[in-house]
Amino acid sequence: MGKQGIRLKKINMIMAKYVFPILLFLYPLLWMNQGIDVSDPMYSLTNFRFFPQMEGSWALATYLANVTGWLLMKLPFGGTLLGMNFYTRLIISAMALLSYYFLKGKMPAWIAFAGEIMAVSFCWCPTTILYNYLTYFLFLAVCILLYRGLIWNRRSLLVWAGVCLGLNVMVRTPNIAEALLIFAVFFYGKLSGEKAAEMWKNTGACVAGFLLGFAGVFLAICIQYGPGAYFGMFGSLAGYTSTDESYSPFSMITSILSAYGGTLTWLMVIAVCILAGWIFFHLLPSRLEKAGKVLYCLCIPILIRLFWGRGMFTFTYYNYRSIYEWGMLFLYLILISCCICLGNSLFFRRDRLLAFIILLSVIATPIGSNNDTMPNLNNLFLAAPFALWMLGKFFRRKLRKTEAFPVMAMSVMIVGMVFLQGIGFRSSFAFGDGIYGEKREAKVENFRVLAGMKTQEINAVNLSGLLGYAEENGLKGRSLITFGNAPGLNFILDMPLSITHGWPDLDTYPAQQMEEELLGLQEEPAVIIYKEHGELPEESAKWDALQLFLSEKEYILTYENDGYQVYTLPET
């Protein structure tokens, strides 16, 4: 090896050991001061802030996430939006680094790094929603521990995989679907020629770990809420489907299939281009192969322009349309990569096991969510690098075969657009704030909870007015009812919940339950109504119940701006 080769090897080592990990740690933390949205991102913060007093099924269904959030709020600056953004984004950094160190021993470090950058770029969900990010983190831990335990034949690691899965069910109840990973035990046992007894022993180790992890948190719930509270929760969760059909098992599955079906149109266009390319290169004289490849590549920008013109994606990185369909095409690429690896006996058993685990994780991840395949796009930490690695193997084997060039070119197009669109999205998107392209340059001044955060001008003005009124009139510490998709106001104003649900607008909170709780109130809460885009909430049974409550209790409108109405009882 010459001096230049030694120098390149040293540079690669430095990049893999220092530069890539530092970038993966820092990248998720960028732009964490962007966006103030009082709906989804702060709903969880309200639950964390008032967790010890929280009641209802959701407090139990996401128990471990609420405990974790409550503890994070005890850290320095944990009571601020910027502080919680920082602490919760560290989970993404941890997932990226954990995956990177796990994978870089199996593939070139730069491929693992590129895959993790893509995975981080597609993290669209607000990080303060810990029941999602703790789910992804523990699921990742389960996958890695299960893989290591089977490959190294160490049952202690299988026990720890089970513990992580048991804890994950306590992060979010539907995570029980991740138990699908147990099939990996039998899959690898068959590949390795293990006896059935050995496979069942490995399964027993996983189950024992699961019961251990589950029981530890279950005991804490019994101490806090009573022995029957956890099992009573299932009756309430089952009732969600009667008020919100999107949470029914049938609806969840059909929405996932519908998402894949919706992308088939674009996939078929790509398939036609591949077929046309195959025919083109099959008929092309060998002396014109290089010119043919150049010509084929020149057609790719035209195809991308066609996709853009037909509305398949946009360059408006402040909304999901910029990434969604490219992400779905990448999911197809991931599934194809897994299936090819599984179906090819030439791959090592450990590689086929990893492919099977990733395939199961892609299937299990969206189960329990009503966001179709969006959870998959948020959880690509193992899948993205694996797909890139498989593509690299395919390229090396087929590089000299001209007929395979169209497949390689289309794959590079998908990966390239996922990478570019993802970075553009990551640098521009803030959940619920500036989603129509508004500039986020304003701040809510002189209010500690929102210090350092940037938002659009109208949002800053409305929040500043509301917060100023609340401070001048001593609302802090009083109980509060919010309506109009603004559950974060309890957190911002430090005003506890008056009813059991912090977000009464949601369909999972029945109107009848709201009516009963309003009738049973023994206190005199303040009521704040959020006017989204200056409009009052649409009329509904819950809106009518709230208006009746305000009327019967003789509440009066004491403050209003373009974003909020505040109702309180008149002073006596």
- pLDDT tens digits, one per residue of 20-39: 999 999 999 999 999 999 99
In the sheet that 564-568 helps form, which strands lie side by side, from edge to edge? 480-483, 526-530, 564-568, 556-560
State how far Cα 498 lies from the chain centre: 30
Residues 6+ apart with CB under 8 A from 487: 38, 39, 42, 43, 46, 502, 503
Token pair belonging to 223? 């101490």
Please check the confidence at residue 151 and state whether its pLDDT lies above 90: yes
CA distance 43 to 368: 19
CA distance 517 to 534: 28
Are 161 and 142 spatial neighbours (Cβ–Cβ below 8 Å)? Answer: yes
CA distance 417 to 411: 10
Q: What is the mean pLDDT of residues 549-571?
A: 94
264 pLDDT band, cuts 50/70/90, is very high
DSSP H or E stretch at residue 241: helix 229-243
State the CB neighbour count (10 A cutoff) for residue 88: 24
Any idea what the Cα angle at residue 544 is, between residues 540 and 550, rounded to 5°?
A: 145
Q: What is the mean pLDDT of residues 276-287?
A: 92
242 pLDDT band, cuts 50/70/90, is low
* SS3 of the chain: helix, strand, coil, percent, to 5: 70, 5, 30
Please check the confidence at residue 239 and state whether its pLDDT lies above 70: no
Give the pLDDT confidence score for residue 6 in this predicted structure.
84
Q: What is the mean pLDDT of residues 162-174?
A: 96
Phi/psi at 527 (5° precision):
-125, 125
pLDDT single digits (tens) 502-541: 899 988 888 999 999 999 998 889 999 999 888 999 999 9
Sign of the dihedral through C-alpha 447, 451, 453, 454: positive
Please check the confidence at residue 96 and state whether its pLDDT lies above 70: yes
Q: Which of 294-303, 346-355, 394-403 has the lowest mean pLDDT?
A: 394-403
Q: What is the mean pLDDT of residues 109-137?
A: 97
User: Residue 203: helix, strand or coil by DSSP?
Assistant: helix
Strands 480-483 and 556-560, by their bridges, are unpaired
Give the pLDDT confidence score for residue 572 in this predicted structure.
47
